[in-house]
Amino acid sequence: MKKGIITVSVLAVIACTITAYCRAAGNEIVSENANQVQSLSEQQVKSTPQSTKGKALVVYFSVPETDDVDASSGASRLVSNGKIMGNTQYIASVISEATGSDLFEIKTVHSYPGSHKALIDAAKAEIDNNARPKLATHIKNLNDYDVVFVGFPNWWYDMPMPLYSFFDEYDFGGKTVIPFCTHGGSRFSGAIKTIRELEPKASVLDGYAISRDRVSEAKPNVLNWLKRIGIM
């Protein structure tokens, strides 16, 4: 009799364990599906902007690849209205058009290679050497802007090194900085933390990250994001 009671108890415990595991697995699947649904809006702003009022500037760094690499393999370009654009350049143009903001492109004195393999190798070499590429373009009227969007592709789990040159050059104290990036799966990596360290006197929002294979269909989600942060 006692053995029978023990056996029933053990079976009950096992059944409860299996049920709990199934529920946990179900919740994980639900969460994963929810993440897939939310992935179109990607990494959303977690902090409430203190102020997104005033004149805005959209700054971006983008290197469109010139070889025939499809988006799933890592291409950083698309065609919009017959024009070849870098992924980050396209998102910057959407933000600029939607908000009536001025556009500014970060350009370097040296040119980056257009082929995918050569480009990622060049990016890796700059990161390894902690390079500060010399910039060819400069903002002459930064004081005119209260809000600055800053866009870039994620290169090797970091901002491209020209962004470090950019932040070294300017003091964004008292301004709202809103990062956005395009990526192949790594989102911002540690870029938001880095920007806050480089610009401690600025209000740096958590920003918005767009997967490279969704850039062409990202416009509605970018517009929704701009509405959420109150800058439309």
Distance between CA atoms of residues 199 and 175, nearest Å: 10
Question: What's the residue count for the chain?
Answer: 232
What is the reported pLDDT for 145? 97
pLDDT tens column, 172-205 = 999 999 999 999 899 999 999 999 999 999 999 9
Please, which residues have CB within 8 angstroms of residue 188's CB and are 6 or more apart in sequence? 43, 154, 179, 181, 207, 209
Q: What share of the chain is helix, strand, coil (3-state, %, to 5)?
A: 45, 20, 40
What secondary structure letter does DSSP report for 68?
-
What confidence category does residue 45 fall into, taking pLDDT thresholds of 50, 70 and 90? very low
More confident residue, 74 or 131: 131
